[in-house]
Amino acid sequence: MWYTLQAVLGTLVEEAGLVFIALWVLPIFDIHVPWWGLGLLMLALAIVAYVTYRIGRGTFFIKPRGTLEALIGYEGVVVKPLAPAGYIKVRSELWKAICEGYECRNGDVVEVLGVEGMTLVVRPKDMLQR
């Protein structure tokens, strides 16, 4: 319900902004939008808002694949350098990660050792084999 309320309120604010710009800002630059043109722009904006609402609403019904702790032991690839925080890709998902004491560059393989909140704690894979 909150998503729907946010979508409706957001669309109303966007529509009001469009009217404000068309009626008060553009005339300053001697650009005049006819009423029918403003109506078409508002209709187009409403259609875009509806389509994005329908796409976004579906994400609420996706079942989680598992807990974050289930990723412990998985290997990942560094996408944004970890010095000490950055991003890694694990099971084709992007996760924020930290690597204390080591600096990992793009493409380095890391292993998930633990979880702190929504951040994965990792170490370089070659460091674990030593």
Domain with residue 104: its CATH number is 2.40.50.140
Largest CA distance in the chain: 72
What is the value of pTM for the model shown? 0.51
Shared domain for 78 and 38, answered yes or no, is no
Shared domain for 55 and 76, answered yes or no, is no
| Contact present, 74 and 111 (Cβ < 8 Å) | yes
Shared domain for 72 and 49, answered yes or no, is no
Q: CA 46 → CA 7, 21, 40, distances in Å?
A: 11, 16, 10
Shared domain for 94 and 121, answered yes or no, is yes
Q: CA 95 → CA 56, 79, 87, 103, 108, distances in Å?
A: 21, 9, 6, 17, 15
Shared domain for 80 and 33, answered yes or no, is no
128 has pLDDT over 60: no
Q: What is the pLDDT of residues 62-118, one digit of tens each?
A: 776 678 888 999 999 999 999 889 999 998 899 999 998 888 999 999 999 999 999
Shared domain for 72 and 124, answered yes or no, is yes
The total number of structural domains in the chain stands at 2
Of 20, 44, 61, the domain-final residue: 61
Q: What is the pLDDT of residues 24-64, one digit of tens each?
A: 999 999 999 999 999 999 999 999 999 999 998 888 887 76
Q: How far apart are CA 122 and CA 127, in angstroms?
A: 11
| Domain span including residue 22 | 2-61
Within 13 A of 9's CA, how many CA atoms are on the CB side?
A: 6
Question: What is the DSSP secondary structure assignment for residue 64, as one 8-state letter?
Answer: P
Of 61, 78, 108, the domain-final residue: 61
Shared domain for 92 and 43, answered yes or no, is no
Instruction: Say what the pLDDT of residue 130 is.
Output: 43
